[in-house]
Amino acid sequence: MNVFLRLITYVRPYLGRVCIGISATLVIIGLDAAQPLLMREVIDNILTPYFTEGNYIGGDFADTKIAADFDRLQFYALLLLGIYILHTIFSFINRYLLNRTGQDILFSLRVQVYDHLQHLGLRFYNDRSTGELMSRVTADVESLQYTVTDTLERVLVNIATIVIYGSILFGLSFELALITLLPMPLYSILIIFYNRTVRPYYTMARERIADISALLQDNLSGIRVIKCFAREGHELSRFTQKCKAFLTISITIIKTRVAFFPLSRFIISMGPLLVLLFGGRQIITGDLTIGTLFAFQSFLWRFYGPVESLTRINDTIVRAAASARRIFEILDTQPEIKDTPNALPFDRLNGSVEFQNVTFAYEHGPPVLQGVSLSAQPGQLIGLVGPSGAGKTTIINLICRFYDPDSGTVHIDGYDLKNMQRASLRSQIGMVLQEPFLFNGTIRDNIAYGKLNATETDIINAAMMANAHDFVCGFPDAYDTHIGERGVRLSGGEKQRISIARAILNDPRILILDEATSSVDTETEMLIQRALERLMEGRTTFAIAHRLSTVRRADCLYVIDRGKIVEFGTHTQLLASDGLYAHLCDMQFALEDT
Amino acid sequence: MTAITQNQLIPETIDIRQNGDDLILTANGEELHIDHIVRCFPFSTPDQWISLRDRDGTELGLLPTLDGLNTQSRARVEEHLKDRYDIPKIQTILNIENNKEGGTTWDIDTDAGPMDFTLRGDQNLNLNAFPEIVFTDAITRKRYKISDYTKLDRASQKIARAYLPMSSRHYSGRRGGRSRR
C-alpha cells in the first residue's frame, strides 16, 4: 500500500471528528465564496449608479432612493458581519478538531511503534543503533505532526474549493474561465518533475538526522571514554562530518524547493495576466461588466490559491512519506520469536531445566552451541564455566527464549519452550548481571520494578535481604533518593545490591547470575555474595563465573569450550578428572598467588 | 501493613527518652543509644518506616509508624525528625541565573535568612506535592522548600516560572494565586 494512504488509515478511529472538521471547512469555503458575490451586489447595484464615467452624480437622485440605498448598504454590511462571525466560529471548530485528531494519531503511532519495538527480538537490536531507533520514534513521528489530518483536510477542501470556484468562474464567463486553465498542463508537468527530484532527498535527510542521533547517543553514553582518551577533537570532527552530510542534503532540498515554488508561482501568474488582457478587452467592447471582472479576479485568486496549496501539500506528502516509510519499516518487522497460537502459559515454575542436543548459531554465523545437553533440577545451583566466547551467555539466552535453538530442544518443567508463552516464562526468570542496569528514578522505584505493586514493607524487606537497607538509609533522601541515569550516583556494589533487591521482589523461580560479583572489591563481594545466597534459596540458579571460587559450591558445573560441554560434575569431581576445569582452576589460583 | 523480617519495633512496646544529650531506646528490656533518626521514605511516605540508628549508622530498630508510641517517646522522635528534616522555607525568589556548571543558581530569601542553591535538572526538583515544591541542592544535597507556590509573591512566581517544569496540571488546583504582599 502507498505509504501515505497507509498513514491515512490511522484516521479511521477519528472519522466522525474529521468529518465534522472537514464539514466546518466546507462551510468556511461557502462563507468565503459569498463575500465577493455580496461585494458585486454592492458595487454593481448600489454604488455604480451613482457614478457616470468616474464622476459622482448622486445628487441627481431622490432622497427616498438614497435612503433606500443606505438601508441596503447597511443590510449587506450586517450580512458580511454575520459571515465573519460564522467564519470565526467554524474556523475554531475546524482547527480544534483536526489539530486534536492529528495529535491523537501521533500519540497512538508513537505508542504503537514503542510497543512493537519492545516485542522485537535481540537480533533486531544487534543490527541497529539505539540513537537511530530513538530518532524514528521521536523525530520521524514528530515530523508527521499535522500531516495526516491537515493533509487529508487540505486535499479534500482544496479539491472542493477548486470545483466550487471553477464552476463559479465558468458561470461568470466561460471564455475567461477557459483562459484561466491555460497554464495548468505546464504546471502539472512541473509538479511531476519536482516530486521525482525531491523524494529521494527527503529520505536521505531523514537518514542523515538518524545518523546524527545515533552518534550523539553513542558519544554521550561513552563520554568518559572520550575524555579518557582525549578524543574530543576526533569526535567533534566525526560529529561535524555527520552534520555536514545533513547540511549538504538540506541545501540540495532548499535549492530544489526555491527553484520550484517561484517557478510554479510564475506559471500560475500567467492566468490573471491573460484574464486581465482578455477581460479588459471585453469590458471595452461592452461584453463584460466591471463588477463581473472584479468578481472574476477575486474568484480567480481563490481558485489559484487552492491550486498552489495543493502543490505545497504535495511537498508535505513527499516529506512525510520519507518519515512514514522509516516508521512502517519498524512496524513491518516481525519478531523472530513469537508465541504460537496454541502456546500455553506457565503456571508457577518448579524450575527444572533441560537442554537436549541443542545446536544454535547467530544469524549467518558459525554454530556457537553444538549438541549441548544439560539438566538442572529445581532449586539446584548450576555453574557455567569456560573461556570467553565459549557459549555460556548463549545458553542463558536460550533459557530466556531470546532465541530458539536451530536444532534440539529446551525444556522447562518438562515443557518445550517453543510451545509456551514467552511472557509467562520471562516473568519467572530473574537476572543479576555484571553491569546492573538501573533506571533514572528513585531507589524505591528501582527496587519496586521487580514488583510494581510492592508496598514499602516489601521494598524494605527486599533491600534488607540484599544488604542494601543500611547504605540506602545513609543517603539524606533514603529510598526516595534519585540515583540518576543508569544509577550513576551509586557505586558498582550499591547498584548491584539494588538490582538484587529488585530480583528478590520479582521472586523468580529461575535465577541467572552473570558475573554478578566480578567488578567489586572483596568486602562488597562478600556482602553481595551473602545477598545472592539469600536470593538463590529455593530457586534454580544458573551462574556464569570466571572467578571460579564463586561457583565452587554449585550442585553441578558445566565446563563449556567452543560451543560444546567438555566436562561436567561437582567442583571436587572436576578437579579429580584433571581436565579443562582443573586447568582453569590452576591458572586462576596461580594468578591470585602472584 | 505486613511485618519487616528484621529490626521491626512494635511502637506500643518501646520507650524513647532523652537523658541529657543522649536519646535512649528501651526495647525488649535492653537500653540502646540512638544517634540519629531517619525517615526511610522522606518524600513519598514520610510518616511510615522511621529508622533509629546508632553512631555507626547501624540500625537499632525500625518503627512502622509513630502511632502507638507513648506520648513522651513520640514527642522525642518528632523533635528529632523536625531537627533533621525541617528545611528552610523559601519566602522570596530574588534571582535565578544559569551557572557555568550547566545548572541554575537560585538566590532566595528563607525563614532562616538569605541563601542560595544550585539545581542541575529536574531530578533536583520535587513537584509531587504541588503547590509545595522541594528543591535539593545539586552540590550540598541540602533541601529547601516552597510551602505553597501559589502564595509566593508575583515577582518570585514570575522569576521561577521559566525554570520550573510545570504544566497546567499544576495550576488546576491553584488556590488564589495572588500575592500576600
Instruction: For A167-185, write each residue's pLDDT tens digit.
Output: 888 888 888 888 888 888 8
Domain membership flag for residue B68: yes
Question: What type of residue is A531?
Answer: A
Does B40 sit within 8 Å of A478, measured CB to CB?
Answer: yes
Question: Domain range for residue B160?
Answer: 90-167
Which of A24-38, A185-199, B107-121 tops mean pLDDT? B107-121
Q: Identify whether residues B81 and B94 lie together within a single domain.
A: no
Residue where one domain finishes, among candidates B58, B85, B112: B85
Q: Identify whether residues B22 and B68 lie together within a single domain.
A: yes
Question: What pLDDT does residue A591 have?
Answer: 67
Q: How many structural domains does chain B have?
A: 2
Characterize the bridge pairing of strands B90-98 and B104-110: antiparallel
Confidence of residue A140 (pLDDT cuts 50, 70, 90): confident
Question: What pLDDT does residue A447 have?
Answer: 95
Say if residue B180's pLDDT is above 50. no
Q: First-to-last CA distance in chain A?
A: 68
Q: Identify whether residues B81 and B127 lie together within a single domain.
A: no
| A33 in contact with B, Cβ within 8 Å | no
Say if residue A279's pLDDT is above 50. yes
Candidates B41, B56, B63, B139, partner chain A, best to mutate (most A CBs within 10 A): B41
- Contact between residue A450 and residue A371 where contact means Cβ atoms under 8 Å apart: no
Domain membership flag for residue B109: yes
Q: Identify whether residues B68 and B106 lie together within a single domain.
A: no
Same fold, A3-332 and A353-593: no
Over residues A37-64, mean pLDDT: 79
Domain membership flag for residue B175: no
Give the residue, A586 or A353, on which the prediction is more confident. A353
Question: What pLDDT does residue A7 have?
Answer: 82
Helices (H), A341-414: 392-399
As a whole number of angstroms, the distance between CA A149 and CA A147 comes to 6
Q: Identify whether residues B96 and B161 lie together within a single domain.
A: yes
Residue where one domain finishes, among candidates B34, B68, B85: B85
Candidates A439, A451, A457, partner chain B, best to mutate (most B CBs within 10 A): A457
Tell the residue number behind the cell numbers 501515505, with chain if given: A4
Which chain B residues are within 8 Å of A478, Cβ to Cβ? Answer: 38-42, 51
Question: What pLDDT does residue B65 have?
Answer: 92
As a whole number of angstroms, the distance between CA A8 and CA A102 comes to 11
Residue where one domain finishes, among candidates B85, B118, B142: B85
Question: What pLDDT does residue B111 have?
Answer: 92
Does B1 sit within 8 Å of A444, measured CB to CB?
Answer: no
Among A276-280, B68-72, B96-100, B170-174, name the one with the lowest average pLDDT: B170-174
Question: Which class is A3-332 in CATH?
Answer: mainly alpha
3-state DSSP assignment of residue A235: helix
Give the residue, B123 or A21, on which the prediction is more confident. A21
Q: Identify whether residues B65 and B134 lie together within a single domain.
A: no
Say if residue A535's pLDDT is above 80. yes
Domain membership flag for residue B134: yes
Question: What is the overall mean pLDDT for chain A?
Answer: 87
Confidence of residue B4 (pLDDT cuts 50, 70, 90): low
Over residues B43-53, mean pLDDT: 91
Which chain B residues are within 8 Å of A489, Cβ to Cβ? Answer: none
Domain membership flag for residue B180: no
The chain A residue lying nearest B47, using CA atoms, is A456
Sheet holding B36-39, edge to edge: B36-39, B48-53, B59-65
Look at residues A263, A269, A270, A267 and name the one whose alpha carbon lies nearest to residue A197.
A263
Give the start-to-end residue ranges of the domains of chain A.
3-332, 353-593
pLDDT tens, residue by residue, A210-255: 889 889 888 888 888 888 888 889 999 999 999 999 999 999 999 9
Domain membership flag for residue B172: no
Nearest residue, CB atoms, A474 vs list B5, B44, B57? B57
pTM, entire model:
0.74
How far does the CA of residue A212 sit from the closest CA of chain B (Å)? 23
How far does the CA of residue B181 sit from the closest CA of chain A (Å)? 33
Question: What type of residue is B80?
Answer: H
Superfamily covering domain A353-593: P-loop containing nucleotide triphosphate hydrolases (3.40.50.300)
Does A480 sit within 8 Å of B44, measured CB to CB?
Answer: yes
CB-based contacts of A150, cutoff 8 Å, min separation 6: A98, A102, A316
Question: What pLDDT does residue B5 have?
Answer: 62
Q: How far is CA B83 from CA A170, B14, B42, B77, B78, in A?
A: 86, 22, 14, 10, 9
Characterize the bridge pairing of strands A55-56 and A51-52: antiparallel
Q: What is the DSSP letter of B70?
A: -
The values of phi and psi at residue A582, to 5°, are -60, -40
CB-based contacts of A373, cutoff 8 Å, min separation 6: A354, A355, A356, A357, A358, A408, A565
Q: Identify whether residues B79 and B117 lie together within a single domain.
A: no
Say if residue A463's pLDDT is above 70. yes
Say if residue B69's pLDDT is above 90. yes
Say if residue A294's pLDDT is above 60. yes
Over residues B129-147, mean pLDDT: 87
Does A458 sit within 8 Å of B58, measured CB to CB?
Answer: no
Over residues A531-549, mean pLDDT: 84
